[in-house]
Chain A
Amino acid sequence: MRRINFNRILYSDTTWAFILLLPNFLGFMIFLMVPMVVSFGMSFVSWDLFGPVRWVGLGNYIELFFEDQVFRRVFWNTLYFTAVTVPISIVLSLLLALAMDQKIIGIRFFRVAYFMPVISSMIAVAIVWQWIYNPEFGLLNYILGLIGIEGQSWLSDVFLAMPAIIVVAIWQGLGFNMLLFLAGLQGISEIYYEAAEVDGAGWFQKFWNITIPLLAPTTFFILVMAVIGALQAFDAVYLMTAGGPARATSVLAHYLFQNAFQYFRMGYASAIAYVLFFLVLSFTLIQLRRQRAWFL
């Protein structure tokens, strides 16, 4: 008869690894994995939190893609927001990082200044920007007025509201991306630049042939994170325009929130969540595929 060797189990690193990982694992299961699986199941039912759960099969998805014109609008808004925000944000933060990489007086002050929006509460940011955008008393229209340009109703014009929100989103995210680029820049050894200078390379040649390729891992990381973040955009929209005017700024996460917690259509909201999930997933997979091209 074999006896179980308790000592061996007790002294095994694996046992302890399991024990020590357990709290985190339980937290992940209870608060993430289980809700994810449940909400996937919920996307096939109709449920208002109180009434009976009714199986509708693919009904929610069919309604989303073929019947709900608001969803179509919101879907395009999300892509619009992402397609504009991400590239501008990456280019600007790279330029900013290059500027912040210089050894000039007061550089720490500027670094902090550009990072401030990142750590500011979105509520405060939203209020300040609403004032800036105010058509009657706002700073922006005042400045435009000084140079003879007629002021606009930035947040309440159907065509201007989304660009106005995008500006705030880019402004707020700039510092974070800048910080990552700065770290990337400082990780590039001076040797390459010195060698290039010996070969007579100019500023742009060094930037294009050394900085850009060697920053590729950082850029890639920022790109993936920025796309994920932009697709999930919610707070700026919710706080500044509540999706209006005329749904011009309503994005997927906002419509999901409305369906779940204002219209109490839990099944429908879950279906939106899964559309958003697959959208994020497919973008990320495409980028991962292209990753090889990046580093060649």
Chain B
Amino acid sequence: MVMFKKNKLMTGIVVVLVVLGLVFGGIILTRPPIEPEDVAAEPVVEEPVVEDPAEEPVEEEITLHFVGWEASPLETESVQKGLDSFMTQNPNITVEYMPVPHAEYETKLITSMAGGAAADVFFVGTELYRSLHLKGQLLDITEYFEAELELDYFIPSAASIMVINDRIYGVSSCTVSPILFYNRDIFDKAGLPYPPKNPDEAWTWNEFLEVAKQLTIVEGGETKQFGAFGFENPAWPYMKIAMFLSNEGDVFNEDFTETTMNTPEVKEVLQAVFDLRQKYGASPEALVLEHLGMSPSHMLQTGRVAMLIDGSWALQELAQMDFPVGIGVLPKFERAVTHGQAHLHSAWIDTPNPYEAWRLISFLSSEEYQLDLIRSGLWMPNRTALYTEEGIARWFNPDVHPEGFMDVIPFIRDAVAYPFAFNVRPATMDIIAEELGAFFNGGKPLDETLTDIESRVNEELAREQ
């Protein structure tokens, strides 16, 4: 018995020793080779400093961590291509890019900040920008910015989103806006004129509705072709907000302390969108399609819908599909208008390398980086210089930008800044989505919906953080 126990003990000791031996032996064995490498690496680091003493900061080998989400494979590809070029221009900086799925992006970014391990530079969605600033997580880059750029270089919507209390914490990447796309074949077949491109000639809502009704084809009780799609999705008021603005309505008041959704202007828009599907049957059911991850572009391509209201970014996908895409301005209530925004590039407050982080942000806002993505149709430029005749010539791509696109350009340039960019309470979006869901899909009366939105959103905005 004692022998047995001793054997067990011996076995235990041997196992522990072997494990310890492997662990520490491994460390001891692997450690020395690192040092010669380090030593060997040092002269390489110092070389550029010796070669270029005029360079302002001392150039050490630096690794910047950069995170973003993947809006499309093309975007990730362009980011990587851009970063390669940046690294060639800044040989002392290595950028490690990590795309994160969009749905998890905010959660991952914020928890990494709370954990003290955030990336140096990152994408910030406009809806998150101001709340991250309030949490004290964004590096103030005003000085760097003013040394190289001017706010006037940016179109008004992009500029106004960037500035928080006269300071800058992120540089706008581009701009995107809700816009109207259509399938030219369907209009040709129906013998109807194309939707207007010039904002001055924009359809009124009723004109838009009439065309949508005419383009809705019902056969044997089943709708084969819908007139229009895109406004309704209750989970995302993005497209409808453009219509609120068009009707002189808005989501928030001027200082973003209260909602202004409970107004006749907003009500009229919501009722019109509701009627488009539920009264006239001119639009397919929205929510499920969005959830499917099925691109609305496919509905336009396959002729299931004649007109599609979508973000301007959809042009990239549409241009690659084999059908004649048309583009036009949104219908209007009082004035022809859309809203604009796009993610910003910011640096983390605790980045050990603020100067290099700025170098990267500056590069990401440069034409060199933007132009490819603009030419592809995914982005629209946020620089005023790219809206002049010569400027447009530098990115206009006849393979992508459809006939008449030139007339639509001012509509996007003059977009109003997206109201949610100035909101710091993400829960307000969910409240609005929930209430609109009850209205669009649950039979809740509109007046009651708007009263509830007003009281609940205001309560959330007034809540002590």
Residues of A within 8 A of B257 (CB): none
Cβ contact within 8 Å between B286 and A156 = yes
Cβ contact within 8 Å between B435 and A134 = no
Cβ contact within 8 Å between B136 and A50 = yes
Interface of B is mostly: helix
**Interface flag for A119 (CB, 8 Å):** no
Residues of B within 8 A of A246 (CB): 234, 434-438, 441-442, 444
**Interface flag for A262 (CB, 8 Å):** yes
**Interface flag for A158 (CB, 8 Å):** yes
Residues of A within 8 A of B293 (CB): 127
Give complex CA distance A136, B12 in Å: 66
Q: Which residues B258-299 have CB closer than 8 A to chain A?
A: 284-289, 291-293
Give complex CA distance A46, B235 in Å: 28
**Interface flag for A284 (CB, 8 Å):** no
Given A245-B234, A246-B434: A48 and B135 within 8 A (CB)?
yes
Cβ contact within 8 Å between A245 and B107 = no
Give complex CA distance A245, B439 in Å: 10
Query: Which of these, A50, A153, A158, contacts B137 with CB under 8 Å?
Result: A50
Cβ contact within 8 Å between A130 and B430 = no
**Interface flag for A11 (CB, 8 Å):** yes
Query: Which of these, B110, B288, B427, contacts A155 with CB under 8 Å?
Result: B288
Give complex CA distance A246, B426 in Å: 16
Query: Which of these, B9, B106, B435, B441, contacts A262 with CB under 8 Å?
Result: B106
Residues of A within 8 A of B137 (CB): 50
Given A11-B5, A261-B107, A262-B106: A50 and B135 within 8 A (CB)?
yes
Cβ contact within 8 Å between A155 and B107 = no
Shortest CB-to-CB span from B139 to chain A, Å, is 15
Given A49-B135, A134-B292: A156 and B427 within 8 A (CB)?
no
Cβ contact within 8 Å between A156 and B106 = no
Which A-chain residue is minimally distant from B12 (CB atoms)? A16
Which A-chain residue is minimally distant from B425 (CB atoms)? A263
Q: Which residues B383-440 have CB closer than 8 A to chain A?
A: 425-427, 430, 433-438, 440
**Interface flag for B113 (CB, 8 Å):** yes
**Interface flag for B465 (CB, 8 Å):** yes
Cβ contact within 8 Å between B9 and A244 = no
Give complex CA distance A246, B437 in Å: 5
Given A246-B435, A262-B426: A135 and B292 within 8 A (CB)?
no
Give complex CA distance A179, B464 in Å: 51
Cβ contact within 8 Å between A130 and B292 = yes
Give complex CA distance A62, B222 in Å: 51
Given A153-B441, A246-B438, A247-B434: A51 and B135 within 8 A (CB)?
yes
Cβ contact within 8 Å between A241 and B291 = yes
**Interface flag for B253 (CB, 8 Å):** no
Interface 0/1 of B38-81, CB less than 8 Å to A: 00000000000000000000000000000000000000000000
Give complex CA distance A154, B444 in Å: 18
Given A49-B114, A157-B441, A245-B234: A130 and B288 within 8 A (CB)?
yes
Cβ contact within 8 Å between A263 and B287 = no
Q: How large is the interface on A (under 10, 10 to 19, 20 to 34, 35 or more residues)?
A: 35 or more
**Interface flag for A131 (CB, 8 Å):** yes
Q: Which residues A21-40 have CB closer than 8 A to chain B?
A: none
**Interface flag for A233 (CB, 8 Å):** no
Which of B12, B107, B285 has the most chain A CB atoms inside 10 A of its CB?
B285
Which B-chain residue is minimally distant from A138 (CB atoms)? B288
Number of residues of chain B lying within 8 A (CB) of chain A: 43
Give complex CA distance A100, B456 in Å: 52
Given A153-B288, A155-B288, A155-B291: A49 and B441 within 8 A (CB)?
no
Cβ contact within 8 Å between A49 and B110 = yes
Give complex CA distance A244, B438 in Å: 9
Cβ contact within 8 Å between A11 and B107 = no
Which A-chain residue is minimally distant from B115 (CB atoms)? A49
Shortest CB-to-CB span from A27 to chain B, Å, is 18
**Interface flag for A65 (CB, 8 Å):** no
Residues of B within 8 A of A154 (CB): 288
Q: Which residues B86-133 have CB closer than 8 A to chain A?
A: 106-107, 110-111, 113-114
Query: Which of these, A51, A244, A263, contacts B433 with CB under 8 Å?
Result: A244
Cβ contact within 8 Å between A156 and B12 = no
Residues of B within 8 A of A131 (CB): 292
**Interface flag for B33 (CB, 8 Å):** no
**Interface flag for A133 (CB, 8 Å):** yes
Cβ contact within 8 Å between A263 and B437 = no
**Interface flag for A240 (CB, 8 Å):** yes
Interface 0/1 of B131-162, CB less than 8 Å to A: 00001110000000000000000000000000
Residues of B within 8 A of A135 (CB): 285, 288
**Interface flag for A215 (CB, 8 Å):** no
Give complex CA distance A131, B293 in Å: 10
Give complex CA distance A179, B233 in Å: 41
Residues of A within 8 A of B107 (CB): 261-262
Residues of B within 8 A of A49 (CB): 110-111, 113-114, 135
Residues of A within 8 A of B235 (CB): 242, 244-245
Cβ contact within 8 Å between A158 and B443 = yes
Shortest CB-to-CB span from B238 to chain A, Å, is 15
Q: Which residues A119-172 have CB closer than 8 A to chain B?
A: 127, 130-131, 133-136, 153-159
Give complex CA distance A252, B276 in Å: 35
Closest 9 CB pairs of A and B: A158-B442, A246-B437, A245-B437, A246-B438, A156-B287, A49-B114, A50-B135, A261-B107, A245-B441
Q: A residues within 8 Å of B by Cβ?
A: 10-11, 16, 46, 48-51, 69-70, 127, 130-131, 133-136, 153-159, 240-242, 244-248, 258, 261-264
Q: List 8 A-B contacts (CB under 8 A).
A: A49-B113, A130-B291, A134-B289, A154-B288, A158-B438, A245-B440, A246-B444, A261-B106
| A50-B135, A242-B291, A262-B106 known, 14 other contacts, Cβ within 8 Å | A46-B464, A46-B465, A50-B137, A130-B291, A131-B292, A136-B284, A153-B288, A155-B291, A157-B441, A157-B442, A158-B441, A158-B442, A245-B235, A245-B440
